[in-house]
């Protein structure tokens, strides 16, 4: 199950980035919902929200370390539960952005809600996975405290 989730996230991420790169002009918003949502092609050479720009090797090494760590945890965990699902989302997203960094030197972002920095599907998977993981930890801590 984890490998299927990782494959789906990675495939959708790379496909949408390819389509955005081929059909959008760099830094030229295409309004989808006026004033709310645009498709805006951006090349992100930094981390989340564009911080730490041009730290290429730092991002590559930290991404590889994260991928190895998450993969090793998933390999040991044989259950298909929310924990596995969360880590699979994070792994799929991390791999998607790692591929961009290695082959392009930047991450392709294109989802633009105007009140938030431009992002992509890999970022969404990482964020959702992290939120689910945090929620599980919170619930477990509440159970242990009672």
Q: Which domain holds residue 102?
A: 2-145
pLDDT, tens only, 70-84: 999 999 987 779 999
Q: How confident is the model at residue 143 (pLDDT cuts 50, 70, 90)?
A: confident
Beta bridge partners of 91: none
pLDDT, tens only, 37-46: 999 999 998 7
Give the active site residues. 109, 123
Question: Does residue 49 have a pLDDT over 80?
Answer: no
pTM > 0.85: yes
Question: Does residue 48 have a pLDDT over 70?
Answer: no
Buried b (16+ CB within 10 A) or exposed e, 29-42: beeeeeeeebbbbb
Domain count for the chain, please give it.
1
């Amino acid at each position: 199950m984890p490998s299927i989730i990782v494959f789906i996230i990675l495939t959708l991420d790379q496909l949408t980035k390819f389509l955005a790169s081929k059909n959008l002009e760099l830094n030229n918003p295409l309004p989808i919902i006026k004033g709310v949502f645009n498709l805006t092609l951006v090349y992100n050479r930094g981390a989340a929200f564009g911080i730490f720009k041009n730290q290429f090797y730092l991002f590559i090494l930290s991404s590889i370390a994260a991928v190895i760590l998450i993969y090793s945890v998933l390999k040991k965990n044989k259950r298909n539960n929310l924990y596995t699902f969360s880590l699979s989302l994070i792994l799929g997203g991390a791999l998607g952005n790692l591929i961009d960094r290695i082959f392009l030197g930047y991450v392709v972002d294109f989802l633009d809600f105007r009140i938030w920095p431009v992002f992509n599907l890999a970022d969404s998977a990482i964020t959702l996975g992290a939120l689910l993981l945090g929620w599980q930890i919170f619930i477990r801590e509440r159970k242990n405290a009672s």
